[in-house]
Structure formats: structure tokens, C-alpha cells
């Protein structure tokens, strides 16, 4: 690694969201426009580099002057003034000085130094609360891109671009950025925003990409190419690691690999407690690409298939039609057969992409048009999805599950649509499973409170703790500012889980948990003790949860859960469950 001799080691603490260790230089990805290649410049070539910068500025300025002149003839003065403002940006001596200084200090190529300066400036602007000033970022982006395009890029160089293996540093990433990452190049990522329960974090865990979030101001402060270790176990980002830190991490990596191999060897063992309680241990997926990982994990089918990633893509206007969906669902059903795949119907809105552009932003998207509400408002789209799932059910074992149920009428309306779809397929002689099971996600406190009523209408419950927690304690699941208050062991949360399981038992239906709580080894004793029968977790978490289940006794977990239900503080409940976990499988905590 470079620079090791010149810099002291720096450790930045973030929030670990996906375990693993990555060792590579940093690549900083900024919002707005893409980064140019970055490379080092020898001391003796610095003057030439500064000249390249000046030439690029001059070229951009003359382009702008030309545009301005043309516009002045064609249109109103106002439009040509926009470009006058762009020219003024390029004449700002303070800015030019900063770039020249950055070239000298960073010893990086002129376009990258310019990009880094502009990116920091833009980031600072984006954080200004004033909407008028925030709007102006578009102009700065525009002029920055123009300058970048006007560099002569044909120079020879030792190029260190994102084509090399790197750790990605970004302000934020959306789930599709994460899903489409090239695992051979992006060894890990770190972001300023995000939380443990964001879909980006969930996908990172599922794909096994080490990740840290919540690194304040990191995009502004961290320089591209900085040698780095990303520790997804503890949330440490170590810049300019010393030789001894590097050696320590190499040893940790080896130890983790040995532990992983030992867990993988349990793949075919039953997920049954020591006293014989069988738990269905299934996997959560959002992408077909995760199917090999599901198979490798030994999970019993798929307890949650999030269809948002198939249906909603930022760059696409139309949703996949019934045939395209049938093909995808059939692939999954066949891949996990004879086990079950639970297809969750579209859960758009809230923290996920909207199904259609909204005329104006919702004041409170988490309490707005999301989940089953959207599907029921758009029956034609909903029916396409239901028919596709039904058609796939002829090729494997498929169940349907409705997200964000808040009351009985939604479940009834959704089931009525399933019935209509069945009638339509029957008329066309298209085969499907007539006994297909339907379930309700329990992720709104109102649904948990009326679980006794809902249990009469559905075949199973799957508790979506990611949302259930946020709605119960009024803490946005993706807001790092209140992450401290997001407590899975809050007494209210565990009472709602208990209530749901009991209501299910009364009606003879099973209850599972498919939220991230199910994948936390410290909480496994609590969920088992509360009587949960299925745990659906990311494929990477299956082996450790299997080991946890096999180490525990259901009777002991039940006694602990009874105590937990009497406790008043989240911290006390957390201690009860994590102590039991630690005493039964200390090795999983290493
Ligand atoms: C949940 O809310 O716990 C859940 C599983 O659904 P999602 O995370 O997709 O909202
Ligand atoms: Mg949810």
C-alpha cells in the first residue's frame, strides 16, 4: 500500500451493518456527477498539472462564452445570465487557488483534485437547509462537469480507477446500487447515511459485502486512494493502517474464515432445539442472484421474497408484466422446491421506491401510500402480480404474503383479489395451486393488536420487525439520528410479538419472523421463547442462526421469555436474552 510511511493511522468509528473485512484503497463516489480517474503525480510534474487545470478552465470558459452569446441572440437575457453565472464560478480566484493547493497537497491529477474540491463544496451546499441554495447545486454540478469534460485525458499515467479493487465511500447508496456492485471490485463500502435496517444494509449482508454506515462527513474528509481497512464487525474504518494493524487484520480474516467453514459444515443438520422443538429456518431474498447463496446456506426455502427489486427500478417506467413476473417467480419456486417460497406482494413507498411518481412528495412517507394500500388502489397491477405468483405455484410450493396490513378489510380485499385471479386462470385452463397459502405480515401495531381477528382470515403470520419496531416506538428505521432509540427488545415490541404468536396458536396457524431481528443471534433465545416457529434471515446469517437454535433448549428459552415479558426496560430484556445466548454459544460471539 502507498503512503504508509507518510501518514499516521486514523480510525473512524461508524455503525457496522454487514460483517467482514476489506483491505483496499478507498474510492470516493460523490453525488451528482461521476468521478474522473485518479492517479498520483510526481513532485516534478506538479507545475504541468496546474497548467492542465488552467487550460481546462480556459477551454470551459470559452465554451460557456460561446453558449452565452448564442443564447443572447436566440432567447431571453435571463437564460444567458445562467451561463454568465457559470463563468463567474470559473473566475472565482478562491476556488482556483483551492484546486491548485489540492493538486500540490494531494499529489493527485488536476481533474481529480478539481473534482474533490467541487465535490466537497457541493456536499456542503447540499447540507444547507435553505431550499433555494440547495437548488443552486445543479448549476455547480453542471459547470463542474463541463470542466471535467474539457480536460485532455490522453496523458499517460499510472491509473488507479474504480477498475481496481477498492472500498467504496459514498454519501449514501440505494439498494439497487448495492445490488449491482461488482463484488470482484467493491470489497466493501462505507457511507455517511444509512442504518442497520435500511434495504441497502440488508442487501449488503445478503451478498456478503462488508459495510459500515453513519460515518459523518466522511465523503468530504476522506481522500481517494487512501489505503484502508474496513472492519464490518466492529464498524471501524482504518485509514493508513500500519504494518502491524494490517497483520492483525489478516489474522482476524483467517480466524473468521475458519469459523465460517465450521458453521457451513452444519448445513444439513436440522434447525431443532436440544429439546426437540423444530424451527423452520428460511432465507430472505430480494434478487434472483441470491438463490445460489440460499442453496449454499441450507435454508429451508424462502420466508420472504421482497418483490420490490424485480418490480421497481429507478430507470424503468413500466413494471414487468405478468409473463415476466411468472418467469421470475417460477425460477425461484423451482430453485427451492420442494420447499416453500413466500412471495411478498409489492411493498412500494415508505423507505422503498414509489410505484409511480407522486405529484408531490408525501409529507410522511412511512405513514403514507405504501405496502398493501398501493396494491389495493391499483388492482390491475396487483392482479398481474397475483396471477404471476399463482402461475408459478404450479411449478413449486408458493405462498403469498401481504405487506403493511393495518386492518381486517385490507386482508379481505386482498384475498378477494386472489380469488378473482384464481377464477380468471381457471377459465383459461391455466394451472395453479388451488390451496395456495396466504399470510399477513404483522408490521403495524394495529395488526398485532387484532392478530386474533386476522388469524381467522390467513394461513400464517410473518412478523416484519423492521417496520413493527419503527411504528411501535415511533423511530424511523433508517434515520441514524434516532438509531439509539430503535430497540428490538422494547417491552412493547416483545408484547406485540407475544400477542401475535398467541393469536396464531389459538387459530392453529404458524407465526414467523422475517425482520432483521430474526438474524440476530443475541435475540434467538427470545424469539424461540416467545413461541415463534419460523425464522427467516439473510442467507449469510442462516449458518449462525442454525447453530444458535441447535444449542438452545426451548423450555429454557420459554422461562426466559416469561421473565422478559415481565421486565420493564429494553436493556433488561436485552440482557436476559443475550446472556442466555452467550452461555450457549460463546463461540458465535467471537
Ligand atoms: C420488515 O418490515 O421487517 C420486513 C421484513 O419488511 P421490509 O424490511 O422489506 O420492510
Ligand atoms: Mg416491512
CATH of 43-150, one of 1.20.1050.10, 3.40.50.620, 1.10.274.10, 1.10.220.70: 1.10.274.10
Ligand nearest to the CA of 538: 1
Q: Which helix (H) or strand (E) element contains residue 451?
A: helix 451-454
Residue ranges with CB less than 5 Å from ion ligand 2 = 443, 464, 467
pLDDT tens digits, 455-476: 999 999 999 999 999 999 999 9
pLDDT score recorded for residue 125: 80
> In the structure, which protein residues have their CB atom closer than 6 angstroms to any atom of ligand 1?
304, 306, 347, 443, 464-467, 514-515
180 pLDDT exceeds 80? no
CA distance 268 to 315: 41
pLDDT bucket at 82, cuts 50 / 70 / 90: confident
3-state secondary structure of 88: helix
- Could you tell me where in the chain the CATH 3.20.20.60 domains are found? 273-585
CATH of 10-33+160-258, one of 3.30.1130.10, 3.30.300.30, 3.50.30.10, 3.40.50.300: 3.50.30.10
User: What is the pairing mode between strands 15-18 and 21-29?
Assistant: unpaired
pLDDT score recorded for residue 37: 83
- Could you tell me where in the chain the CATH 3.50.30.10 domains are found? 10-33+160-258
Ligand nearest to the CA of 405: 2
pLDDT tens digits, 203-223: 888 888 999 998 887 777 788
- The DSSP 8-state label assigned to residue 236 in this structure reads E
Q: What's 257-270 look like in SS3? A: HHHHHHHHCCCCCC
pLDDT bucket at 155, cuts 50 / 70 / 90: very low
For residues 43-50, give the mean pLDDT: 92
pLDDT score recorded for residue 4: 44
Q: Which of 195, 515, 523, 538 to mutate to test the pocket of ligand 1 (most atoms within 8 A of CB)?
A: 515
Residue 119 C-alpha to ligand 2 middle, in angstroms?
34
Q: For residue 350, which atom of ligand 1 is closest to its CA?
A: 10
Beta carbons of 534 and 509 less than 8 angstroms apart: no
Residue 371 C-alpha to ligand 2 middle, in angstroms?
8
Beta carbons of 524 and 549 less than 8 angstroms apart: yes
Whether residue 498 lies in the annotated active site:
no
Residue whose C-alpha cell reads 445543479 in the numeric block: 138
- Could you tell me where in the chain the CATH 1.10.274.10 domains are found? 43-150
Query: 273-585 has which CATH code?
Result: 3.20.20.60
pLDDT score recorded for residue 79: 63
pLDDT score recorded for residue 289: 85
Beta carbons of 266 and 549 less than 8 angstroms apart: no
**Considering only CA atoms, which of 438, 374, 380 is closest in space to residue 404?**
374
pLDDT bucket at 3, cuts 50 / 70 / 90: very low
Give pairs for 174-177: CB < 8 Å, separation 24+. Answer: 174/200, 174/314, 175/199, 175/200, 175/202, 175/203, 175/286, 175/309, 176/309, 176/313, 176/314
CA distance 486 to 473: 7
pLDDT score recorded for residue 156: 42
Grid coordinates representing 43 are: 513532485
For residues 228-244, give the mean pLDDT: 96
Q: How far is CA 212 from the centre of its chain?
A: 11
Beta carbons of 404 and 425 less than 8 angstroms apart: no
Maximum pairwise Cα distance, the chain: 86
The pLDDT mean for the chain works out to 90
387 pLDDT exceeds 50? yes
Ligand nearest to the CA of 517: 1
pLDDT tens digits, 480-521: 788 889 999 999 999 999 999 999 999 999 999 999 999 999
Q: Which of 347, 372, 406, 523 to mutate to test the pocket of ligand 1 (most atoms within 8 A of CB)?
A: 347
Give percent above pLDDT 90 in the chain.
Answer: 65
Q: For residue 351, which atom of ligand 1 is closest to its CA?
A: 10
Q: For residue 308, which atom of ligand 1 is closest to its CA?
A: 9
pLDDT score recorded for residue 12: 94
Grid coordinates representing 421 are: 385471479
pLDDT score recorded for residue 167: 95
Which of residues 568 and 207 earns the better pLDDT score?
568
Residue whose C-alpha cell reads 423451482 in the numeric block: 334
Q: Which of 228, 421, 514, 557 is catalytic?
A: 514
Question: What one-character-per-residue DSSP string does 271-284 give?
Answer: -B-TTS-B-EEEEE
Residue nearest to atom 9 of ligand 1 (CA): 306
Which of residues 439 and 157 earns the better pLDDT score?
439
For residues 296-315, give the mean pLDDT: 90
Amino acid at each position: 500500500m502507498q503512503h504508509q510511511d507518510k501518514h499516521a493511522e486514523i480510525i473512524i468509528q461508524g455503525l457496522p451493518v454487514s460483517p467482514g473485512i476489506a483491505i483496499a484503497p478507498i474510492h470516493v463516489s460523490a453525488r451528482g456527477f461521476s468521478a474522473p480517474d485518479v492517479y498520483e503525480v510526481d513532485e516534478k510534474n506538479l507545475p504541468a498539472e496546474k497548467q492542465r487545470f488552467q487550460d481546462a478552465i480556459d477551454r470551459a470558459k470559452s465554451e460557456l462564452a460561446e453558449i452565452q452569446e448564442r443564447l443572447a441572440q436566440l432567447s431571453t437575457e435571463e437564460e444567458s445570465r445562467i451561463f454568465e453565472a457559470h463563468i463567474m464560478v470559473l473566475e472565482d480566484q478562491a476556488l482556483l487557488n483551492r484546486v491548485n493547493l489540492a493538486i500540490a497537497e494531494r499529489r493527485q491529477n488536476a481533474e481529480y483534485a478539481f473534482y474533490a474540491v467541487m465535490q466537497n463544496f457541493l456536499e456542503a451546499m447540499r447540507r444547507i437547509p435553505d431550499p433555494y441554495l440547495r437548488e443552486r447545486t445543479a448549476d455547480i454540478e453542471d459547470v463542474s462537469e463541463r470542466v471535467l469534460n474539457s480536460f485532455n485525458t490522453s496523458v499517460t499515467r499510472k491509473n488507479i480507477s474504480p477498475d481496481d479493487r477498492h472500498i467504496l465511500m459514498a454519501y449514501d447508496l440505494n439498494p439497487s446500487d448495492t445490488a449491482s456492485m461488482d463484488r470482484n471490485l467493491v470489497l466493501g463500502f462505507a457511507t455517511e447515511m444509512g442504518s442497520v435496517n435500511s434495504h441497502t444494509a440488508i442487501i449488503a449482508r445478503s451478498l456478503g459485502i462488508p459495510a459500515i454506515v453513519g460515518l459523518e462527513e466522511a465523503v468530504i474528509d476522506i481522500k481517494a486512494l487512501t489505503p484502508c481497512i474496513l472492519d464490518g464487525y466492529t464498524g471501524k474504518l482504518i485509514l493508513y493502517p500500519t504494518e502491524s494493524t494490517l497483520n492483525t487484520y489478516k489474522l482476524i480474516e483467517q480466524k473468521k474464515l475458519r469459523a465460517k467453514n465450521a458453521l457451513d459444515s452444519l448445513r444439513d443438520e436440522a434447525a431443532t432445539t436440544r429439546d426437540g422443538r423444530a424451527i423452520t429456518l428460511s432465507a430472505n431474498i430480494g434478487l434472483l442472484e441470491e438463490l445460489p447463496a440460499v442453496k449454499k446456506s441450507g435454508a429451508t426455502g424462502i420466508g420472504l421474497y421482497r418483490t420490490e427489486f424485480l418490480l421497481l427500478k429507478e430507470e424503468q417506467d413500466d413494471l414487468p408484466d405478468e409473463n415476466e413476473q411468472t418467469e421470475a417467480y417460477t425460477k425461484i419456486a423451482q430453485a427451492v422446491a420442494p420447499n416453500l417460497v413466500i412471495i411478498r406482494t409489492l411493498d412500494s413507498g415508505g423507505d422503498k421506491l414509489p410505484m409511480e411518481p407522486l405529484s408531490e412528495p408525501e409529507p410522511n412517507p412511512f405513514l403514507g401510500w405504501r405496502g398493501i394500500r398501493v396494491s389495493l388502489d391499483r388492482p390491475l397491477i396487483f392482479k398481474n402480480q397475483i396471477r404471476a405468483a399463482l402461475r408459478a405455484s404450479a411449478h413449486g410450493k408458493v405462498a403469498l404474503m401481504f405487506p403493511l396490513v393495518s386492518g381486517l378489510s385490507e386482508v379481505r380485499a386482498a384475498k378477494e383479489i386472489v380469488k378473482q385471479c384464481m377464477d380468471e386462470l381457471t377459465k383459461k385452463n391455466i394451472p395453479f395451486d388451488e390451496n395456495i397459502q396466504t399470510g399477513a405480515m404483522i408490521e403495524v401495531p394495529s395488526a398485532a393488536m387484532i392478530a386474533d381477528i386476522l388469524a381467522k382470515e390467513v394461513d400464517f403470520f410473518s412478523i416484519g420487525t423492521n417496520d413493527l419496531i419503527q411504528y411501535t416506538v415511533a423511530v424511523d428505521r433508517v434515520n441514524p439520528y434516532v438509531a439509539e432509540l430503535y430497540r428490538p427488545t422494547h417491552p412493547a415490541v416483545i408484547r406485540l410479538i407475544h400477542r401475535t404468536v398467541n393469536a396464531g396458536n389459538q387459530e392453529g396457524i404458524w407465526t414467523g419472523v422475517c425482520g432483521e431481528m430474526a438474524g440476530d443471534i443475541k435475540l434467538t433465545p427470545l424469539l424461540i421463547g416467545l413461541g415463534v416457529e419460523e425464522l427467516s434471515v439473510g442467507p449469510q446469517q442462516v449458518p449462525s442462526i442454525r447453530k444458535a437454535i441447535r444449542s438452545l433448549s426451548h423450555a429454557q428459552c420459554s422461562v426466559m421469555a416469561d421473565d422478559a415479558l415481565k421486565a420493564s426496560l429494553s436493556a433488561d430484556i436485552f440482557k436476559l436474552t443475550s446472556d442466555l445466548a452467550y452461555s450457549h454459544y460463546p463461540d458465535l460471539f467471537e
